[in-house]
Amino acid sequence: MTEAQQTDRWIAHVDLDAFYASCEQRDNPEYRGRPVVVGALPGRRGVVAAASYEAREFGIRSAMPISDAYRRCPDAVYLRPDMRKYSQVSRQVFAVIKTITPVVEQASIDEAYLDISGLEKLLGPPAAIGQELKRRIHEATRLTASVGLGPNRLIAKLGSDYQKPDGLTVVRPDEVLDFLAPMPVTNLRGVGRRTSRHFDELGIRTVAELRAAAPGALEQKLGPRAAASFRRQADGIASDAVVPGRARKSISKERTFNEDVTDAIKLHDQLRELAAGVARIARRENLAGQVITLKIRFTGFETHTRQKKLPQATHDERVLLQTAWQLYTDSDLPRKAVRLIGVGISHWSDNSSQQADLFDSATEHANDDRLLDTIDNVTDRFGSGKLQLGVNRRQ
């Protein structure tokens, strides 16, 4: 069942508030009430992993270059991530969550989806269940969480974002359309910078305006599949599936060409763009993988994949590109016109000390003048392709 109108489904989304920074404020009373920034240290190459709500008042946010954060608030407390501690607290939180329901899908270290359908007889109405979740988490960890409850994942996630921090939002099935109507369309899943620009060009700012838009205009700008997806979200229709144990296993991107390609330079340039996109997602999600996958589809839908395992995990587009290109040039792949090309990364590192280094790129390619976080920042501000790392096409 996926319709927002179904009344027998209740999905909760639990999101810890400014998790890393809140852990530090909890454990260090002198940091409470002060702006706290967890990530790279000022003067180093790296980004913000988390910012306390006091720091957010200065415009500091996750993935911002640490140099930008320091310019905005030099008096903030700047700390390196303690991933071992955060992982331990996360395990505590999930143990608490599972005392409410065993149907829990971990979305990240600090958020989860829960299926609480049918628990009303045991724990009371959805609002009472949400309050009990928050109470138990705070009692066990002294941290606050925001909780959203609704008939599907989309509404639950938007609900947890709605009144942060320490919020509780319950959206009943007959309230879904009114809840969504005034929201910016950028709140919907899958709205990136390019899609946002398309909505701007169509004069669509809110979900209500998206609902009222002519289907033909949406399809012309976004394509039929994307237009249909956003219309469904605007109507509050989304998945209500909660799958325990499900986690992102890989990140990949691919491109289908309008005309089959034989030019090696064009293939390399497209692979470079795809590798940059995959690496950027990995850095944003604090992931580093060891297995690089190349996907190639030729005329007639003949499809091949090739993989290589690296000695060390990475989230660097240069490594992704070099490895994927070597898989193409050094393999036994036929030299035919290419219809589709793609690259992926998987097999994440589970070393907590290595994960901490993902926020500080000083140890990676120390002799390279281009900074990965600078690329991410420019891409966030101006869109993909405005700034890229220099890579030899022959690699």
**Catalytically annotated residues:** 111
Buried residues in 323-340 as b, exposed as e (16+ CB within 10 A)? bbbebbeeeeeeeeebbb
Phi and psi dihedrals of 328, rounded to 5? -75, -45
Pairing of strands 77-79, 36-39: parallel
Single out the residue of 352, 315, 285, 348 nearest to residue 82, CA to CA.
352
Structural element, H or E, at residue 354: helix 352-357
- Residue 112, H or E segment: strand 111-115
- Quick check: helix, strand or coil at residue 359? coil
Residue 14 token pair: 């639990």
Q: Which residue's entry shows tokens 């910016």? A: 184
Q: Quote the tokens at residue 304.
A: 């091949």
Q: Which two tokens stand for residue 120?
A: 């009303």
| Contacts of the segment 383-386: beta carbons below 8 A, 24+ positions apart | 383/193, 383/194, 384/193, 384/273, 384/276, 384/277, 385/273
| Region for 313 from its dihedrals, namely left if φ exceeds 0, alpha if ψ lies in -120 to 50, beta otherwise | beta
| Residue 10 to residue 156: CA distance in whole angstroms | 9
At 86, is the secondary structure helix, strand, or coil? Answer: helix
Q: Which two tokens stand for residue 352?
A: 């907590």
| Contact criterion met (CB below 8 Å) for 48 and 38 | yes
